[in-house]
């Protein structure tokens, strides 16, 4: 991986600046795909889709920060990644029904992935047993929205049902997809296997 020049973002709320890392070249070597569809590419890090302004504390979409190549040779590895708590605050601030569909989906997945980092098993032994009630309620609403909007993606829906403990529904959706040698059939069989163990944690697919 070759680092690139930092990009300067301008907060659309206050005009404050921040620098975010970029990479000049990278590759997908060592990539991990998780059951909830999150990809981790250690050699191809990308700036966070939502950025936190260090000046005013608001959140904004990366593209709304008007990213400009500084051309500087100082390298940074700060991609503006958010913690779960920050992603939750960003969701409060940015999510609304008028958002453009692509941004809406990205925010929903950002929230879900960060939830799964902290509470859904991605951090293994470090994951607390349960989350606060308000977070559990938000998760239920977000999963419902994703099940509605991603109904055509049956494998994802099977996984979402598994994550919320609806194991029978997961098995029902995944079973018709589980025959064959292609990757999606292999994934379907893994979902069924974990559902049968009543395991609701996310796990690595590869
Ligand atoms: Zn700001």
pLDDT, tens only, 81-135: 999 999 999 999 999 989 999 999 999 999 999 999 999 999 887 878 789 999 9
What residues does each domain of the chain span? 2-69, 102-196
Q: How far does residue 12's CA lie from ligand 1's centre (Å)?
A: 7
Q: Which residues of the chain have pLDDT under 70?
A: none
Q: What is the dihedral of CA 178, 183, 187, 189, to 10 degrees?
A: 30
Looking at residue 162, its pLDDT comes to 98
Q: Among candidates 63, 64, 22, 66, which has minimal Cα distance to 45?
A: 22
Reported pTM:
0.94
Q: How far does residue 2's CA lie from ligand 1's centre (Å)?
A: 29
Q: How far does residue 62's CA lie from ligand 1's centre (Å)?
A: 13
Looking at residue 128, its pLDDT comes to 82
Looking at residue 20, its pLDDT comes to 96
Q: How far does residue 131's CA lie from ligand 1's centre (Å)?
A: 30
Q: How far does residue 10's CA lie from ligand 1's centre (Å)?
A: 8
Length of the chain: 206
Two tokens, residue 189: 């069989």
Is 138:88 a contact under the CB 8 Å cutoff? yes
Looking at residue 124, its pLDDT comes to 84
Q: In whole angstroms, what is the distance from residue 178 CA to residue 172 CA?
A: 11
Q: In whole angstroms, what is the distance from residue 113 CA to residue 36 CA?
A: 7
Q: How far does residue 38's CA lie from ligand 1's centre (Å)?
A: 28
Looking at residue 70, its pLDDT comes to 93
What SS3 class is residue 187?
A: helix
CB-based contacts of 111, cutoff 8 Å, min separation 6: 87, 88, 91, 138, 142
Query: Which residues have their alpha-adjacent CB atom under 5 A from ion ligand 1?
Result: 11, 13-14, 16, 53, 55-56
Q: How far does residue 113's CA lie from ligand 1's centre (Å)?
A: 25
> DSSP label at 38?
-
Q: How far does residue 19's CA lie from ligand 1's centre (Å)?
A: 13
């Amino acid at each position: 991986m070759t680092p690139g020049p930092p990009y300067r973002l301008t907060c659309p709320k206050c005009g404050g600046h921040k620098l975010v890392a970029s990479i000049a070249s990278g590759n997908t070597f060592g990539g991990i795909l998780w059951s909830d569809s999150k990809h981790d590419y250690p050699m191809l890090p990308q700036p966070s889709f939502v950025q936190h302004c260090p000046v005013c504390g608001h959140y904004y979409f990366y593209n709304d920060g008007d990213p400009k190549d500084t051309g500087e040779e100082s390298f940074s590895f700060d991609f503006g990644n958010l913690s779960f708590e920050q992603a939750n605050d960003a969701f409060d601030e940015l999510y609304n029904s008028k958002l453009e569909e692509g941004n809406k989906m990205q925010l929903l997945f950002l929230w879900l992935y960060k939830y799964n980092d902290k509470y859904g098993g991605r951090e293994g032994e470090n994951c607390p047993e349960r989350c606060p009630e308000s977070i559990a309620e938000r998760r239920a609403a977000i999963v419902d929205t994703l099940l509605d909007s991603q109904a055509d993606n049956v494998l994802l829906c099977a996984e979402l049902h598994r994550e919320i403990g609806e194991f029978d529904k997961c098995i029902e959706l995944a079973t018709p997809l589980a025959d064959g040698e292609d990757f999606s059939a292999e994934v379907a069989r893994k979902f069924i296997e974990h559902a049968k163990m009543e395991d609701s944690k996310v796990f690595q697919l590869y």
